[in-house]
Structure formats: C-alpha cells, structure tokens
Amino acid sequence: MDSPLEITFHNMRSSDVIEGDIRKRVTKLEKLYGRMVSCRVSIEARTRQHHTGNVYEVHVDMRVPRGHLVVSKEPHHVGERHANTDVKASIRDAFDAAEAQLRSFGKKQGGEAKSHASPLHGSVAELFADRDYGFILTSEGARLYFHRNSVMNGGFDKLMRGDTVQFVEDMGDTGPTASKVWPADKDGH
C-alpha cells in the first residue's frame, strides 16, 4: 500500500489483539488485490441498549487505482435477534464482504465480469438530500453510491433511510455505483 493502514476505534478502547487481527486481514486483501493504495478500518461499539448487549459497526474503506470501495457491516436494528455482539465476528463479516467486493472489482477491471444486468436488492443506508446523493447497503455489506438522477421516476425525494430498494450495479468513474435505483414493492421485489 502507498499509505499506512489506519485503524480507529469509536466508543471502545483500542486493542492490540483486534489491531493484529485487522492487520492480518488487510494483508490478505493486499495479496488478493496487490494494487491497493490505502485502507482505513473503523470499529464502533454502538451504545444503544440491546437485549443482548453492545453491537459493533465495522467499516472498511479501500482505495485502489480507479476505485474507492467501502464496506459497512452495521448491526441489525434494535429488537432483532441476530445482532452480532462479538467484535471479532463483526470484523470477520466485514472483511469477508470486503474480500468479495475486491474480487468483484478486480474481475470487472480485468474484463472478466460484466456489470449486473438484473436488479439486485439492498436498503438505503444514508441519504444526503441536500447534496442529491445517497448510499445503498447491499446484501453483501457493500455501500454503493447513487445520485438523485439514478432514482427512477423522480423518486429520490420519496426515499428514506432503511427503505428496501432494487438497483442495477454499474462501474462508475471511481468504482461500483448504483446506476438505476427504485423502491422495492411490499414483497421486496
């Protein structure tokens, strides 16, 4: 990597054991995709009360030539039974998603894979209505950028965080993006 690995902890103490695990996982990503420019990893202990304890949010932000890949593994919503309360498991899940995203990006860059033609499912992770863009959290844990103009039938203003959407993934100037977005119907289709 051109830049040193950055690891940050939020709402929790730093840990040499966790940092070592992250460094090992980033080294694996570098072997998988040798042209990684930089990588930032953040772990946040969510402070919301949950019946099984704290849950962890892990973000892996990777810069590669002609791409910016972001993976976010957020805890399940309060009240769901499957929230991950183990920081190591949360890190493992985030890096599994990062590895899948990096493999997919590498194949697309190498011309081995075409952009998805059929719609995929995800949920609106963040919306910045004042700046005309947002991010979709895919089922693989990747965060895809989308612009107001990508939302079909002028529906950008009707979207809310957490809404289930369908989208078509495409390769943008800085990596994978959602080129077409529309709300999923009540059945999730």
pLDDT greater than 70 at residue 111: no
Residues 29, 95: contact at Cβ < 8 Å? yes
Q: What is the mean pLDDT of residues 165-186?
A: 82
Same domain, 156 and 69: no
Same domain, 104 and 35: yes
- Give the model's pLDDT for residue 26: 94
Same domain, 100 and 156: no
- Give the model's pLDDT for residue 1: 78
Same domain, 136 and 87: no
Segments forming the whole domain that contains residue 86:
6-109
More confident residue, 6 or 47: 6
> How does residue 125 score in pLDDT terms, banded at 50, 70 and 90?
very high
Same domain, 41 and 65: yes
Same domain, 42 and 89: yes
Same domain, 75 and 160: no
Residue with tokens 């849950």: 55
CA pair distance 168, 151, nearest whole angstrom? 11
* CATH for 168: 2.40.50.140
Same domain, 136 and 177: yes
49 in any annotated domain: yes
Same domain, 153 and 103: no
- Give the model's pLDDT for residue 15: 92
Q: For the chain, what is the domain count?
A: 2
* CATH for 84: 3.30.160.100
137 in any annotated domain: yes
Percent of the chain beyond pLDDT 90?
Answer: 37
Q: How buried is residue 29: exposed, middle or buried, by Cβ count under 10 Å (0-12/13-18/19+)?
A: buried
Same domain, 19 and 105: yes
Q: Which residue, 109, 138, 154, sits at the end of a domain?
A: 109
pLDDT greater than 80 at residue 118: no
Same domain, 105 and 125: no
CA pair distance 51, 38, nearest whole angstrom? 37
- Give the model's pLDDT for residue 48: 55
Q: What is the mean pLDDT of residues 148-169?
A: 90
Tell me the CA distances in angstroms from 83 to 47, 56, 78, 80, 103, one per residue in order: 13, 9, 8, 6, 27
Residues 109, 66: contact at Cβ < 8 Å? yes
pLDDT tens, position by position, 34-92:
778 899 999 998 765 544 555 888 999 998 887 888 888 776 544 444 455 688 888 99
114 in any annotated domain: no
115 in any annotated domain: no
pLDDT greater than 70 at residue 189: no
All residues at 6 or more sequence positions from 72 whose CB lies less than 8 Å from its CB, including other chains: 57, 58, 59, 94, 125, 137, 141, 143
Tell me the CA distances in angstroms from 162 to 39, 56, 136, one per residue in order: 27, 18, 9
Q: Which two tokens stand for residue 126?
A: 């963040």
Q: How many C-beta atoms surround the C-beta of residue 126 within 10 A?
A: 13
Same domain, 100 and 10: yes
